[in-house]
Amino acid sequence: MKQALPGSRPLCTLSAAREAPQRVMCDGRALVVWMVDDVLPAVIDDRCPHGNARLSAGYVLYGRIVCPLHMWTFGPDGRAQAPGGRVEAAGPMPRSYECWISGDQVWARIAA
Ligand code: FES
């Protein structure tokens, strides 16, 4: 049972993650939770490395979260794609976290 793993936390309801990207504060970290598809959640740091925007203020397109400022997109692994293909980050890329669904909650393992 993954919930028993150290650092495992429920982040938000599945219905909320399906509705829109969710900003969740967990152990002092700002995270964004979204659904890649109907059964696959994703959790990465809620900070765009291009200009520090909150990714949770963006939207989901083809399973990737889209930054609301300049439309960089991020996959569940935290890798960025920029329009036109150039990726010049002002900060470190978002960290991704192991996540899963249990019951009506999205869980993640937030290791130190
Ligand atoms: S701040 Fe996110 S793409 Fe520029």
4-49 pLDDT, tens digit per residue, is 788 899 999 999 999 999 999 998 999 999 999 999 999 999 999 9
Catalogue all structural domains in the chain, each as residue range(s) with its CATH number: 21-96 (2.102.10.10)
Average pLDDT over residues 69-91: 94
**pLDDT per residue as tens digits for the range 47-77:** 999 999 999 999 999 999 999 999 999 999 9
Q: What number does the ligand 1 atom closest to the CA of 53 have?
A: 1
Residue nearest to atom 3 of ligand 1 (CA): 70
The burial class, CB within 10 Å (0-12 / 13-18 / 19+), for 67 is: buried
**pLDDT band at residue 2 using 50, 70 and 90 as cut-offs:** confident
Choosing from 32, 50, 54 the residue with most ligand 1 atoms within 8 A of its CB, the one to mutate for a pocket test is 50
For residue 78, give the nearest of 42, 24, 53 by alpha carbon. 42
Q: Is the CB of 53 under 6 A from ligand 1?
A: yes
Q: Is the CB of 47 under 6 A from ligand 1?
A: no
> Which residues lie below 8 Å from residue 79, measured CB to CB, with a gap of 6+?
93
Residue nearest to atom 1 of ligand 1 (CA): 51
Whether residue 1 has pLDDT greater than 80: no
β-pair partners for 81: 73
**56 within 8 A of 23, measured Cβ to Cβ:** yes
